[in-house]
Amino acid sequence: MPEPTHDAPLKDQAACGTKPAPPCTLVIFGAAGDLTKRLLMPSLYNLAGSGLLDPGFTILGVDHNDGSDEGLRTELTTSMETLSKDPGSEFHADRIDPKSWGFIRERIHFLKGDFEDAGTFEALKGKVSGNVVFYLAVAPRFFGSLVDGLGRAGLLKQADDAFRRVVIEKPFGSDLASARALNAQILKQADESQFYRIDHFLGKETVQSIMALRFANGMLEPVWRREYVDSIQITAGETVGVEERGGFYEPTGALRDMVPNHMFQLLCMVAMEPPNSFSAEDVRGEKAKLAQAVKPIRPDHAVRGQYVAGALEGKPVVGYREEPHVAKDSNTETYVALKLEIDNWRWAGVPFYVRTGKRMTGRRTEIAILFKPAPFQLFADTPVAELSPNVMRITIDPDHGAGTELNVKVPGPQMQIGRVTMGFKYADFFKNQPNVGYETLLYDCMTGDATLFQRADNIEAGWAAVEPLLEAWKTAPVEDYAAGTPGPKAADDLLARDGRHWLGLDGKTD
């Protein structure tokens, strides 16, 4: 491949306070796919703009369609320009900076190859040397065969002065047995330390900040436990439907798509024990222990729903069964609500309520910690009817920040209690950095920091927890909920049985 003409990162090291990643080749299997266009290219563009890519960085896109270096460059440039004008995309930019994109564009090269053809990997051997990251931006059915092909061709052999790493997208398996089988298959070709199982939720700044919020504040850490916490709610609500992804979603559903990976990663961040250090193995070890402490989920602690026709922002939307590539009698869930129990010393008896769904009332991803209310005795002879619990809400999307609801006295002659919220948004205190969720993950992979990537035991523990539901839901019906509503009634009933209710998707407690 021709050498890039830029001989320095776009910004000097001092500008962003972080060293550029070492030089490497990023080989992207599925170079013309949606993931590459929508997330990987914008992330690389942002890294280039921050000066975090070495001048020796190159990209080799592999796809089975005909193409060329210039053809792929043009296609990805067009995609970037389109995304920058789309307010609904993850990538937000007023314009494409020509220097930042030029740094990426001139480093893009193309190789045509079938993912299951040994000749592809032989051709690849002649295209790469030194440090290489192989990114599997492909359908899950290709994960095992791609790793086999790389291993058999000797492309995963590491030298003392060069690394070889593989990034594997979710879903990693479709149940516990398939996850174990895939782990066994890939570990025949390379060491565990070479595999980076990615979950883009962990690339979000607010998610990464949970550890700092928990462990760097003396006023919070002591009360982050069963003696003071009543319950915890983890929500990932979306207003979008399945769009054009019906073919993927039909055999997958909300449970497989979201719970053992995204939702369990949020669970681990908020509930794990403090690690001994921020080293990758210490952090991932604590996450794995937490995931393994989750009791297998009982079917009566779970709700599955499917959206039907409704309205969002005053506009009618069709039901799931009317979406493209979806069966007219589909029994696939687009909504899941769960009650989780963690069998360890810190969280014994504290319920964790998890919900995720499409076409809900609002787009909101958050973790809410509901603390036990203060004793009421002092207020027994006052007009105060009750004391509401304090609630801390860590918001991940669409805003990034945190807020805590407190009880205070309402001004006036009598003791009346009112609710106030103390909080912050990251944008009010820190300069907003362009981020689609993959920048930190790509940089960490290139630098060899596996902290934010899932280890095999963590993934298997997630699948083990949902295994009873996968079996029970093979024949269980789904409950309808209208698009534009918070979800099915059974989800409200799940909490009502415990004398609790879901927090509002508008950010309000009631």
Beta strands in 198-320 (DSSP E): 229-237, 302-308, 310-312, 315-317
DSSP state string for 263-284: IHHHHHHHHSPPPSSSSHHHHH
Locate all alpha helices (DSSP H) within 381-429, ordered by sequence. Answer: 426-429
Q: Is 328 annotated as a binding residue?
A: no
Q: Is 289 annotated as a binding residue?
A: no
Question: 10 Å Cβ neighbour count for 179?
Answer: 21
Q: Is 99 annotated as a binding residue?
A: no
Q: Is 92 annotated as a binding residue?
A: no
Q: Is 70 annotated as a binding residue?
A: no
DSSP-derived letter for residue 306 is E
Q: Distance (Å, rounded) from C-alpha 407 to C-alpha 204? A: 31
Nearest of 151, 195, 193 to residue 172 by alpha carbon = 195
Residue 263 structure tokens = 């939702």
| Beta strands 108-112 and 195-197, pairing class | unpaired
Q: Is 114 annotated as a binding residue?
A: yes
Reading phi first (left if > 0) and then psi (alpha if -120 to 50, else beta), residue 29 is in: beta
Q: Is 506 annotated as a binding residue?
A: no
Question: 10 Å Cβ neighbour count for 414?
Answer: 9
Q: Is 400 annotated as a binding residue?
A: no
Half-sphere exposure (CA, 13 Å, Cβ side) for 235? 29
Q: Distance (Å, rounded) from C-alpha 141 to C-alpha 185? A: 13
Tell me which residues are annotated as active site: 262
Q: Distance (Å, rounded) from C-alpha 17 to C-alpha 447? A: 15
Which string of b and e fits 85-120 if b means at least 16 CB within 10 Å? eeeeeebebeebeeebbbbbbbbbbbbebebeeeeb
Q: Could you list the residues known to form a binding site for substrate, using ranges.
A: 200, 204, 238, 257, 358
Q: Could you list the residues known to form a binding site for NADP(+), using ranges.
A: 114-115, 170
Q: Could you list the residues known to form a binding site, using ranges.
A: 114-115, 170, 200, 204, 238, 257, 358
